[in-house]
Amino acid sequence: MLLEARDLTKNFGGVRALDGAGFAIAEAGIVGLIGPNGAGKTTLFDMIAGRQFPDAGRVTLDGRDVTGLPPERRAALGLARTFQECRVFPEWTLRENLLFAARPRSFASALLRAFTRQEALPGGAAARAEELLRLATLDAYADAPASILSFGQRRMLEIASALMTRPRWLLLDEPAAGINPGLLDALGRFLRRAHADQGGLFLIVEHNMEFIMGLAGRIIVMHQGAVLADGPPEAVQSDEAVIEAYLG
């Protein structure tokens, strides 16, 4: 199983944010995670990413239990994520942002290399960075600090940076939020192309129905802390319970 969340439960004070939510994803693909506000999408998402930990239940990646693993250990396994609030390193140039994602992470070896002055950038990383900058149509700003980008451009950079390591699991938290509607098509094309190129699982939390229904091959719907429906976009859209949850 590529990714499995089983019986996840989380309470915040008296509020039950997750109530036995779970799903299993066996195959690579683009999967959408939707639901009304307060359905528990972000909490579930954070548990897969390691930013929050469940009161009960398990998360497994490739069958390996990662429920209590901190985010940096999950990154080492090949998991990458983006943030709803969109995070990039503002002081660094776009190229530095991308290359940083490809650099080794061990402090011990970094300290040793500091005094031998060996370059640790993996071969092909520089070419990969240029390719991603071009695909994200950011190549004109490659040497500008990320802080000068517009929100939409910053979002593209964030996704490009997550793609640098060709992650096996890519978690995208509302990539379409705050994006100029005219750029949504470009964003969708970028994600489809990236997935065709590298494979793996793209799990996307999204509020923009049109965007996610056109992008994902499978949609998981959450409601009141549990999974309400799970299937191809057409089936989910005509599901009585889903319509009820969104309208009621």
Partner 1 sequence: MSRMAVLAFCLAVPALVWGIAQGGLPPYLLHILALACTYAIPAIGLNIMLGYAGLVCLGHAAFVGLGAYTLGILAVDHGWSFWGALPLAAVVAGVAGGALGAVTLRLRTHFFMIATLAFGLVLHAVMNNWEELTRGPVGLPGIPRPEGFTLLGLDFAFRRLPDFAAFAVGATAVAFAISALLIRSDFGRMLVAIRQDETLAAAKGVNVTAGKVLAFAIGAAIAGAGGAVKAAFLRVSAPASFEYLEGINLVLIVIIGGAGRLSGPLLGALLFVALPEYLRVAAEWRLVFFGVALVMLMRFAPEGLAGILARVFRRRAAAA
Which residues are at the interface with partner 1 (CB under 8 A)?
A: 49, 51, 70-72, 75-76, 80-81, 83, 87-92, 100-101, 103-105, 107, 110-111, 113-115, 117, 120, 161
Q: Cβ of residue 97: shortest distance to partner 1, in angstroms?
A: 10
Q: Cβ of residue 241: shortest distance to partner 1, in angstroms?
A: 34
Q: Cβ of residue 93: shortest distance to partner 1, in angstroms?
A: 13
User: Which tokens sit at 185?
Assistant: 């098509």
Nearer to partner 1, 106 or 180 (CB): 106
Residue owning tokens 């209590």: 68
Q: What is the DSSP string of the chain?
A: --EEEEEEEEEETTEEEEEEEEEEE-S-EEEEEE-STTSSHHHHHHHHHTSS--SEEEEEETTEE-TT--HHHHHHHTEEE--TT----TTSBHHHHHHHHHS---HHHHHHHHHHT---PPTTHHHHHHHHHHHTT-GGGTTSBGGGS-HHHHHHHHHHHHHTT--SEEEEE-TTTT--HHHHHHHHHHHHHHHHHH-SEEEEE-S-HHHHHHH-SEEEEEETTEEEEEE-HHHHHT-HHHHHHHH-
Q: Does the CA dihedral 87-91-93-97 come out positive or negative?
A: negative
Nearer to partner 1, 1 or 110 (CB): 110
Nearer to partner 1, 36 or 89 (CB): 89
Nearer to partner 1, 31 or 75 (CB): 75
Nearer to partner 1, 142 or 213 (CB): 142
Nearer to partner 1, 62 or 234 (CB): 62
Q: Cβ of residue 43: shortest distance to partner 1, in angstroms?
A: 16
Q: Cβ of residue 72: shortest distance to partner 1, in angstroms?
A: 5
Cα–Cα dist 204/171, whole Å: 6
CB 204 within 8 A of CB 216: yes
Nearer to partner 1, 31 or 80 (CB): 80
Q: Cβ of residue 19: shortest distance to partner 1, in angstroms?
A: 26
Q: Cβ of residue 172: shortest distance to partner 1, in angstroms?
A: 12
